[in-house]
A and B are shown apart, each in its own frame.
Chain A
Amino acid sequence: MTQKDFDYRKLNEELEVILAQMDSTDMDVDEAIKHYQRGMEIVEQLEAYLKGAENKVQKIKQQWDTSA
């Protein structure tokens, strides 16, 4: 996954949904395991993102018209 299509918000939301679904009692074990695996994948990605990524400052090369 590249920096650009990584979406912290979306992954957080997905994880919250997974937790809520796993909390409901009527999920079968197979499904619970799949949810767990996906949840752990997301946790790893979020952690890696928080630990690894850096802020990027880009200075816009634009001459602001001083006469305005």
Chain B
Amino acid sequence: MDNVVLGVSDFVGLVNQTLEFAYPNIVIAGELANFRVSKNRWVYFDLKDEYSSVRFFGTVYMLPGPLEDGMMLQVRGAPRLHPLYGFSVTVQSMMPVGEGSLKKAAALLEAKLKSEGLFDESRKRALPYPPKTIGLITSGESAAYADFIKIMNERWSGTEIRLADVQVQGDAAVGQIVQAIEFFNAHANPPEVLVITRGGGSAEDLGAFSTEQVTRAVAASRIPTIVAIGHEVDISLAELAADHRASTPSNAAQLLVPDKPQELDRIHTWQIQLGQLLSGRVLRAQQDLFGSTNQLYERVESMVKAENDSLQRAKQLLQALSPERILERGYTILTKAGKTVRSVSDITRGDEVTLRLRDGLRKAKVE
């Protein structure tokens, strides 16, 4: 090789061939510096440590979230010599590492998503209570799953729970959780609520629930969501984007459905109330009826009395006009063959007549 003279481009090609063969990809960790985004598409940055600095090149689609100089990054990429711009590593994937950088990355992502309104209170929807169908996104092997089902069975019955069995940590978790959310949303007969849950773990274990992809998928879900991650300190971004948040898988079940014994109590109270309302109504009807009967009786009574009064008045008038009263005063009524004699011409000598006096009758003969 000592005697071979290469053209510049040939040299570049040779170096790249060698690099591709020796290091098809390589993982490098270091502090982020000179981070910049060009044309909203290309990303340039350096990774450095105390003694060295290496240039990297990638696209925005590979970004795990917003980044800032000073963060510790772990980057997988292919080293390459560019014909014009020199040596750089072409990024394949990248993620923040170390607690400080993870927190920093999370804070930056949170601020970005917040500014987009993903966590707004006004976006929060009410959950159906109780739901008839639940889409459960968790690991079917986990304690979180067992706890959720146990509390659901204790509290409530008749719910259809559809389990999307996904990994909740590790490399595959993010993609699987996002796919499961999309799967339920695309379903012809979607569940009424999505429960996305896992038990507690270290910040790294819970990392999937703070990624931009999962957080956006939760925010974009047309089905109302409840995210329950068992942890004590930090709230994951997926929880902030969810319609509701629960502290543990069991707590999610408690928020989702009523407690059966309490419901039975309530129904029993209503049952008693129904009976009381009906007997109250019947009693009132009886009282009304009694009142009406009384009124009716009183009305009839007063009608009878009024009738009686007017009868008495008629009787008195009648008595005042009666012939007896005239006889009392000394008059006599003369009848012939039962007919009252009103004129002298009605009788002739020898006729038999009857005299009616106050105290009786007397026959007489006309002279």
Q: Are B285 and A29 in contact, CB atoms less than 8 angstroms apart? A: yes
Q: With A and B bound together, what is the CA distance between A49 and B174 in angstroms?
A: 38
- Which B residues between 153 and 201 are near A, CB-CB below 8 angstroms? 153, 156-167, 172, 174-176, 178-180, 183
B267's nearest neighbour on chain A, judged by CB, is A46
Q: Are A54 and B161 in contact, CB atoms less than 8 angstroms apart? A: no
- Pick from B34-42, B67-75, B268-276, B354-362 the stretch touching chain A: B268-276
Q: A47 and B267 in contact (CB under 8 A), knowing A36-B277, A53-B158, A65-B175?
A: yes
Checking B166, B172, B277 against A23 with a beta-carbon cut-off of 8 angstroms, the contacting residue is: B277
Measured between beta carbons, the chain B residues less than 8 angstroms from A55 are 149, 152-153, 156-161
- Which B residues between 199 and 241 are near A, CB-CB below 8 angstroms? none
Measured between beta carbons, the chain B residues less than 8 angstroms from A65 are 175-176, 179
Q: A50 and B149 in contact (CB under 8 A), knowing A23-B277, A36-B277?
A: no
Checking B158, B274, B277 against A6 with a beta-carbon cut-off of 8 angstroms, the contacting residue is: B158
Checking A27, A36, A40, A54 against B158 with a beta-carbon cut-off of 8 angstroms, the contacting residue is: A54
A29's nearest neighbour on chain B, judged by CB, is B285
Measured between beta carbons, the chain B residues less than 8 angstroms from A58 are 160-163
What secondary structure prevails in chain B residues at the interface with A? helix
- Tell me, rounded to whole Å, the shortest Cβ–Cβ distance linking B127 to chain A: 12
Q: Are B176 and A43 in contact, CB atoms less than 8 angstroms apart? A: no
Q: Are A62 and B274 in contact, CB atoms less than 8 angstroms apart? A: no
Measured between beta carbons, the chain A residues less than 8 angstroms from B153 are 54-55
- Which B residues between 236 and 278 are near A, CB-CB below 8 angstroms? 260, 263-264, 267, 270-271, 273-275, 277-278
- Tell me, rounded to whole Å, the shortest Cβ–Cβ distance linking A28 to chain B: 8
B288's nearest neighbour on chain A, judged by CB, is A29
Measured between beta carbons, the chain A residues less than 8 angstroms from B277 are 19, 22-23, 32, 36
Q: Are B157 and A43 in contact, CB atoms less than 8 angstroms apart? A: no
Measured between beta carbons, the chain A residues less than 8 angstroms from B165 are 59-60
B66 contacts A by Cβ under 8 Å: no
Measured between beta carbons, the chain A residues less than 8 angstroms from B179 are 64-65, 68
Q: Are B176 and A57 in contact, CB atoms less than 8 angstroms apart? A: no
Q: Are B274 and A22 in contact, CB atoms less than 8 angstroms apart? A: yes
- Tell me, rounded to whole Å, the shortest Cβ–Cβ distance linking A22 to chain B: 4
Measured between beta carbons, the chain B residues less than 8 angstroms from A19 are 270, 273-274, 277
B140 contacts A by Cβ under 8 Å: yes
- Which A residues between 17 and 66 are near B, CB-CB below 8 angstroms? 18-19, 22-23, 25, 27, 29, 32-33, 35-36, 39-40, 43, 46-47, 49-60, 62, 64-66
Q: Are A22 and B172 in contact, CB atoms less than 8 angstroms apart? A: no
Q: A43 and B162 in contact (CB under 8 A), knowing A19-B277, A66-B172?
A: no
Q: A3 and B162 in contact (CB under 8 A), knowing A55-B153, A66-B175?
A: no
Q: A50 and B161 in contact (CB under 8 A), knowing A9-B128, A55-B153?
A: no
Measured between beta carbons, the chain B residues less than 8 angstroms from A27 are 281
B272's nearest neighbour on chain A, judged by CB, is A43
Seen from chain B, the residues whose Cβ lies within 8 Å of a Cβ on chain A are 128-130, 132, 140, 149, 152-153, 156-167, 172, 174-176, 178-180, 183, 260, 263-264, 267, 270-271, 273-275, 277-278, 281-282, 284-285
Q: Can you list 13 A-B contacts (CB < 8 A)?
A: A9-B129, A19-B273, A22-B274, A29-B282, A32-B278, A32-B282, A46-B267, A55-B152, A56-B159, A58-B160, A60-B162, A60-B165, A66-B167
Closest 10 CB pairs of A and B: A68-B175, A53-B158, A64-B176, A53-B157, A22-B277, A66-B172, A36-B278, A32-B281, A39-B274, A29-B285
